[in-house]
Structure 1
């Protein structure tokens, strides 16, 4: 059978709700910190179930666009709802566990070697990366460039060309996992504090402490809303 004749799929209802919410935010001039209408009201106005509205809110939460305060409503975290296509979220959800496994295997070893081999120049670059991340966070950003520079500095401090090559081969996937982690509520400041503990262990030449600190950090990185999201949780639409 021709691939063009594969079965047609019906758009998920909650994806349509997401699009309507995006249009509402743009048309209403809502800004970061503003509250969205309650789920019950949205369901009534859109003519859908509360379950569909709830799943739409989860999609926005997964992308770091809204903050859900239990018992307190849903608030915008960005000026607009620039939503990724759900299919892209699903694809990232599927590959993220493998990326996180690879990061833990590689970066704990890099931290161990960095504690054993770092030079004064390496330590200066690690400190500069931390300063970058602090500045970014103070300016209201996620700190992603400082985060990237910090992990790159540790890779360089390990002085292992083969491990550095391995890290380069998954650089795109690592960047995805970094962004996914840093857009979790309150995650940038927590990641910065964990980076500082890793740096302290490396500066002290304590390889075991560096491994432990890096492993704890990467397990925090792995705790993201995306991995608990079920893209197929939308209830079936009414029969036509």
Structure 2
């Protein structure tokens, strides 16, 4: 007697994360309000009240949308719509990003730790000044209420330049867009901008002292810090 093969077992359906639910609601609002590229979303306080969540919880959803390039959160202006994607494409994009996050962290801990070591060995006075200037830019951003993303980017670019390694610099350029995703996520965590700036200062002190081992250790500690992203856990 012929028997049909046993059916494949169902896979467990995971419960959507709260920020994913909020992302879906925000995208629904964008659609119903007929917002287009360049339009502003409501202020965070108003949006949080409409959704019935805290501003901290809303901030996670906004970071998720910023990571995927749906919005651009500008200090002093608010969240500006960049493009209107479908809900399905956004949820898929978030899932894909979660899956590749460990690989991004692995690449950063490999490349940037070596770059810090080389920068301590090879930096010029002018390159040290560029690193220190990036700290000033980041501090000014944070003091004015921003996340310090531009100063953070300048800092890592300056360390890369000070390492005088053409191939490593090319590899950093190759993963720059993925690093931007982790930068936005990390600096979106409460208290993280100030913590990141403090760890930048430790790295800078080691590079200033031309201490390669201390620079390596400081950069590794920094990568561990910024890779602790509660949003995607």
Q: Deviations along 1:182-224, whole A, 9 cap, x unmatched?
A: 1111111110011011000110111111111111110111111
Aligned to 1:70: none
Does the C-alpha gap of structure 1 residues 177 and 207 become closer, same or farther in structure 2, counting only changes over 3 Å?
same
1:97 corresponds, among 102, 113, 116, to 102
Change (3 A) 1:124 1:225: same
1:174 aligned residue: 179
How do 1:135-174 and structure 2 match up within 5 A? 135-174=140-179
Change (3 A) 1:210 1:38: same
Deviation at 1:31, TM superposition (A): 3.8
Gaps of 5+ in 2: 1-15, 36-40, 65-76
For 1:144 and 1:201, how far apart are their aligned partners in 2?
A: 22
Structure 2 equivalent of residue 123 of structure 1: 128
Question: Residues of 1 paired with 2:224 and 2:183: CA distance?
Answer: 12
Q: Kindly indicate whether residue 184 of structure 2 is the aligned counterpart of residue 185 of structure 1.
A: no
Give the superposition deviation at 1:226. 3.2
In the alignment, the residues of structure 2 paired with residue 32 and residue 63 of structure 1 have an alpha-carbon distance, to the nearest angstrom, of: 9
Tell me the residue number matched to 2:60.
61
Q: Is the CA contact (8 Å cut-off) linking 1:110 and 1:155 kept in structure 2? A: yes
Answer 1 or 2: higher relative contact order, Cα 8 Å, separation at least 6. 1
Using a 3 Å threshold, how does the CA distance of structure 1 residues 124 and 90 change in structure 2: closer, same or farther?
same
**CA RMSD in angstroms, aligned pairs only:** 3.3
Which has the higher mean CA deviation after the structures are superposed, 90-99 or 107-116?
90-99
1:64–1:184 contact (8 Å) kept in structure 2: no
- CA shift digits 1:159-178 (9 cap, x unpaired): 11111111111111111111
Contact 1:117–1:159 (Cα < 8 Å) also in 2: yes
Q: Work out whether residues 63 and 183 of structure 1, in 8 Å CA contact, stay in contact via their aligned partners in 2.
A: no
Query: Using a 3 Å threshold, how does the CA distance of structure 1 residues 21 and 61 change in structure 2: closer, same or farther?
Result: farther
The gaps in structure 1 that reach 5 residues or longer are 1-11, 43-52, 66-77, 229-240
Aligned residues: 189
Report how far residue 38 of structure 1 moved: 10
Change (3 A) 1:60 1:135: closer
- Of 129-138 and 15-24, more deviation after overlay is shown by 15-24
Q: CA deviation at 1:59?
A: 7.8
Q: Does the aligned pair in 2 maintain the 1:93–1:226 contact within 8 Å?
A: no
Partner SS, residue 140 of structure 1: coil
